[in-house]
Chain A
């Protein structure tokens, strides 16, 4: 466990040394504050559009941070040839995968926390009472979703040779799931065989990360799913993360490390 933790801390340190997070945070803050400063009909109580814009930017930024940070982990180790001394120590390939995943997930979680603190501050400027429970649930669900995204990107990083290819493919896949994922069953009904079976299979196989997106509830002050549902969703995310990490290990353990 110490080995995994040591690998994870290196990834966390890398996040705050690189500029990605700072650039995206400043961009999010600037756009949100610009939106907040707009005067609509002299009504200072209008807040939902600011929450909407801020949460959208948080989702985009954290997805980019998680994918870009994860995508370069193993290729960078291979390119710099640091993977050889790393594996020469008593560190297994499975531990490398677990450490990299844990590091990326924790680093994304830290970034997420900073973003959500900013969101709460901005919302608090216009809303008299903050919905702490709803915000916490939204953040935890968001973090669980990032676990699946990171595991998927890690799998991509051992399959694809280039970081850019992996990041692009992962982004397309994730946006595809977010936009169409939950509607695949409706699309399948309209298809003819064999496309119908194929679409249904895809519907049941893909990780439905869109279910973790509760922005509409947060923006419109609607009740969020209960603790049991959130727990089930977390289990769902954990199951997919486990499957994807296992797949990554299976590919990586037989992979040649020479570039």
Chain B
């Protein structure tokens, strides 16, 4: 069965998810994993959908045009095949050690790039990430929380230390700790 990744972003208002999911259902689509969230007045959709066998990328794009026009959405559709599907189809399918990283401090440019670059250099993989810009406009604070894996890293604590050091160099606080077990 063909599968597609789909992203859609537009100014938030009621009805977006209903319209997009309706277009997918019309093509026999089974909406699999997704993240849909409100971000500073925008609504962002990211999902993977499996459709009926005959569906092509252009058919899916066409089915989404009414919703895109009605809600002024920027939509991208991409067919998933062997070349562009990660072998780590499940969250921790790469066999890595899951860690949670929390970063917070005075807002400045470069925090996400600095910390995630250090993580990538250490062989880490981001599986989930959120950021919040909070506080007064004259003293904004940035909070970033990541769930990451360190696949096959021989010294996870050394990798964690590199990430902490990258945050320190940016003047923000960082904690890196092994993820809690799923069963509390």
Are A and B a genuine interacting pair, yes or no?
Answer: no
Chain B residues within 8 Å of A, Cβ to Cβ: none
Chain A residues within 8 Å of B, Cβ to Cβ: none
